[in-house]
């Protein structure tokens, strides 16, 4: 999943720094990079599992993993949101992944 560049990072910063006087420190920039890395890593893991149809035998584990991604819903790209939703549906319905 290489679409992580579509994440609305400005929205994340606005949410984190609701106070207009707040300054963004170097530590905050690190946190932003860390969050991007975390989301990318989780999406990559989900994609690997789905492409191997791992969810057919481990649907609970894969579904739980989708929840660790969906908590970032407001900053995910539309494509990533759709991917997570389709993965959840495939887990629930035990459908083979043919994307």
Instruction: Provide CB contacts within 8 A for 34, sequence distance 6+.
Output: none
d(CA 4, CA 43): 9
The dihedral over CA atoms of 3, 42, 48, 74, expressed in degrees to the nearest 10, equals -50
Q: DSSP alpha helices (H): ranges in 1-99?
A: 9-16, 26-51, 59-70, 78-93
Give the residue extent of every domain in the chain: 3-93
Tokens of 61: 């584990």
Instruction: Give the model confidence (pLDDT) of 12-54 as tens digits.
Output: 666 655 555 555 565 655 577 788 899 999 999 999 999 999 9
Instruction: Give the model confidence (pLDDT) of 56-83 as tens digits.
Output: 999 999 999 999 999 999 889 999 999 9
Are the C-beta atoms of 40 and 28 separated by less than 8 Å? no
What's the mean per-residue pLDDT of the chain? 83
Rg from Cα positions in the chain: 15
pTM of the model: 0.71
d(CA 44, CA 38): 10
């Amino acid at each position: 999943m290489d679409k992580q560049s579509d994440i609305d990072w400005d929205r994340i910063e606005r949410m984190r720094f609701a106070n207009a006087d707040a300054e963004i420190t170097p530590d905050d920039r690190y946190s932003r990079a860390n969050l991007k890395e975390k989301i990318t890593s989780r999406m990559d893991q989900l994609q690997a599992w789905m492409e191997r149809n791992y969810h057919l035998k481990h649907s609970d584990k894969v579904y739980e993993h989708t929840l660790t991604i969906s908590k970032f819903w407001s900053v995910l790209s539309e494509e990533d949101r759709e991917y997570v939703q389709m993965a959840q549906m495939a887990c629930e319905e035990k459908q083979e992944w043919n994307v």
